[in-house]
Amino acid sequence: MVAYWRQAGLSYIRFSAICASAVRAALKPQFKVEALKVAESSVKVYVPKAVALGQYQLYIRLSMIITLIICSSQQIASYHH
């Protein structure tokens, strides 16, 4: 039997996250502060902006080229043996 949330396309990780936040929201005030603090700190969602990503593209391309050069030179070296 498939669970309703699985059928709707949600994973167990998402199910677990929603349940955990529901339980945290039902804590007594003196415990809630501590739990929320810990929960927020473990996962920080960072969305990189598209502009910033463009700056890294040149770096990624250069490193790929360098890797290719090293690989091909190693192949040439091993071929000579």
Partner 1 sequence: MMAARFLRCALPVLRQARCYADAPSGSAQMSFTFASPTQVYFKEASVKQVDVPTLTGAFGILPAHVPTLQVLRPGVVTVFNDDGSAAKFFVSSGSITVNADSSVQLLAEEAFPLDQLDVAAAKVNLEKAQSEMASASDEAARAEVQINIDANEAIVKALE
Contact residues for partner 1, defined by CB under 8 A? 3-5, 7-10, 12, 14-20, 22-29, 31, 35, 38, 42
Nearer to partner 1, 26 or 52 (CB): 26
Residue length of the chain: 81
CB of residue 60 vs partner 1: minimum separation in angstroms?
33
Nearer to partner 1, 15 or 56 (CB): 15
CB of residue 61 vs partner 1: minimum separation in angstroms?
37
Of 40, 43, 11, 10, nearest to 24 by C-alpha is 40
Structure tokens at 42: 């473990």
Backbone torsions φ then ψ of 8, nearest 5 degrees: -80, 0
